Structure 1
């Protein structure tokens, strides 16, 4: 009984923290008309994205509210005709420049090197840099709204997290955990105010940075060998004295990260080891997540079968509190709440399996992404 009650209290407290983050501290840029007068460069790194870059490019070319907008695209060694697709969609639009990337030198991973090339080969120099991934589709005023929020937050880096598009069962199990984890465990207001680099979060799908603050932090050169270059860049900004901010970007952008289960599996596998760091830390975090979100429904079922209805009821309340946290997270970030939240314990188990797989493949030096080794 004491264990079940402790679980219920702990999960309820975390769900309360989710609600505070989601509805009191999370920034929400407006999706309506906005206008900025400063020069902005939208930077798009591409590697073998011919099949899905068109919606992203069309959305970038349709941006409004930024009179001095430049779109710089880097073809990072694509072999599928990505550059030809970019030229066809751009149709000689003078705002778009297509660059040809060079292979990353020793000590660099592919994406940080592509982003660094974009940031340092953009002329004339803009005051704001907006990094966008090929799987992101922006609404017409997204860039203007994000830059406005960046300035309102007095930040050097703003991460307006897109709405994650889910279509398959695997998507629905795994993808919502991204927003749920930082809304549940990261104190957003403290993150913005604190100078501690360890207290940082960011999503690389859509990042908006003050150019001076970006360069002061060393830019992507400071995170050249980092798998989670987005989070590490946010930490570098903090180390350089800049502020960072997270925002709900679900009304500004949508993102379909992976099309298939193998892509999703391998995408998470390549980076989860870097999320947790040392295997001992990963084991501790996963044990906590299992205890809080997987154990309650199992305990409820076991207690019910053992003829302890009160214990079963308390454990079931702990399970429902976890479900409520998932629902709150989904509604706050434009995600799908029902019935996906009911499978939250299964989501945690899948996350655990992906994490174990990540460490296993890293130890065997078999982690790759886009045809390049990760470690």
Structure 2
């Protein structure tokens, strides 16, 4: 047996193990619908829905309408929207809705103090005005089904305190969205042991998205809130880690049937959004990011390239191992896509999606290391 065949066997074995892990890991993700909301029927819980909004003219009305249509049986709801110094009609649109529904209140945001990230300070300002026992952070581009908040609060009540979050169904329309945005769930399903998020107190085992995040007031205060992570670019992950360090539980749940979002509107936004988060998401650790990108290259780009080489050269070994590896990689992607509610055919484009992720990851690393920083929603982050 040649050295190349041994390497192919190692690679395909690793992909097979990865597929088995992904299949098992997906079963560990609790569905938000599985939590009984009956326990809320005899409570008078106040939930503060907190929405930071900066230049969200396209999204804010739809977001508020979906929030206000929520089933509030068993709890009360207040909705606070912070106009984060928008330059469009965001404030006027919110005020129109507030004039019709007393549950909605518009707040005017101010310039962040030195050292604060913009969104973190917006969330901090919202909390200062919130009266609820639970804080439900919702991004303006999110849409909720009527049971979304109620079921999530039920999950929080089962824990008693802590943080509950989940990745919304990702609406993707442009090709870059379809190829890249679902890879968020792929990363979780492929690498993070989901059962450890609730069982372990270690902040290493955590995943969160600020787009849809519920946190108990006591847990927010114990963690230090956004004030404790004011300079962190990836604020949602930092907040979840701070909650764990404070000894409070964190739950990642499957919410895609009740929560949806279109995070980005075009390819440029996808590139810049992921570029902003990838290097920071690894804690600016070069070895972790670059090592991950090398692993992705070996596992998800080498097999299809080997298959292509085999077809062109007539190498039966390259064809066999390249085909097996490619199919296994597609299988991992399909498990992740099914978890996130994405269509089956996206798995066939796994190698293209991975090539895009690797390209964005390298751009994120270069921008972070060079000091050029990132640009997002008119703000530059260094």
Q: Compute the TM-score of the two structures, normalised by the length of structure 1.
A: 0.95
For the Cα contact (< 8 Å) 1:174–1:350, is it kept in 2?
A: yes
Which region of structure 1 is more displaced relative to structure 2, 280-289 or 61-70?
Answer: 61-70
For the Cα contact (< 8 Å) 1:155–1:245, is it kept in 2?
A: no
Matched, 1:117 2:121: no
Map of 1:315 onto structure 2: 322
Map of 2:110 onto structure 1: 102
The 5-angstrom pairing of residues 325-344 of structure 1 reads: 325-338=332-345, 340-344=346-350
The 5-angstrom pairing of residues 249-328 of structure 1 reads: 249-276=255-282, 277-328=284-335
The whole-number CA distance in structure 1 between the counterparts of 2:35 and 2:343 is 23
The whole-number CA distance in structure 1 between the counterparts of 2:292 and 2:339 is 24
The 5-angstrom pairing of residues 64-83 of structure 1 reads: 64-66=71-73, 67-83=75-91
For the Cα contact (< 8 Å) 2:163–2:250, is it kept in 1?
A: yes
For the Cα contact (< 8 Å) 1:5–1:315, is it kept in 2?
A: no
Q: Give the RMSD, CA atoms, in angstroms.
A: 1.7
The whole-number CA distance in structure 2 between the counterparts of 1:33 and 1:283 is 43
Runs of 5+ unmatched residues, structure 1 = none
SS at match of 1:248: coil
Q: 1:307 to 1:366 in 2, by over 3 A?
A: same
Q: Considering Cα pairs closer than 8 Å and 6+ residues apart, tell me whether 1 or 2 has the greater RCO.
A: 1
Q: 1:154 to 1:296 in 2, by over 3 A?
A: farther
Offset at residue 155 of structure 1 (A): 5.1
Offset at residue 154 of structure 1 (A): 4.7
Deviations 1:52-97 (CA, angstroms, capped at 9, x unpaired): 2111010011111344111111001011021101112333311111
For the Cα contact (< 8 Å) 1:31–1:141, is it kept in 2?
A: no
The whole-number CA distance in structure 1 between the counterparts of 2:288 and 2:82 is 37
The whole-number CA distance in structure 1 between the counterparts of 2:361 and 2:238 is 19
The match for 1:26 among 29, 33, 41 is: 29
The whole-number CA distance in structure 1 between the counterparts of 2:17 and 2:159 is 28
Matched, 1:203 2:203: no
The whole-number CA distance in structure 1 between the counterparts of 2:148 and 2:46 is 15
The whole-number CA distance in structure 2 between the counterparts of 1:330 and 1:16 is 15
Matched, 1:181 2:183: no
How many residues of Structure 1 are paired with residues of Structure 2 in the alignment?
371
Deviations 1:349-370 (CA, angstroms, capped at 9, x unpaired): 1111111212223324242222
For the Cα contact (< 8 Å) 1:31–1:252, is it kept in 2?
A: no
The whole-number CA distance in structure 1 between the counterparts of 2:334 and 2:91 is 41
The whole-number CA distance in structure 2 between the counterparts of 1:50 and 1:308 is 56
The whole-number CA distance in structure 2 between the counterparts of 1:93 and 1:117 is 22
Runs of 5+ unmatched residues, structure 2 = none
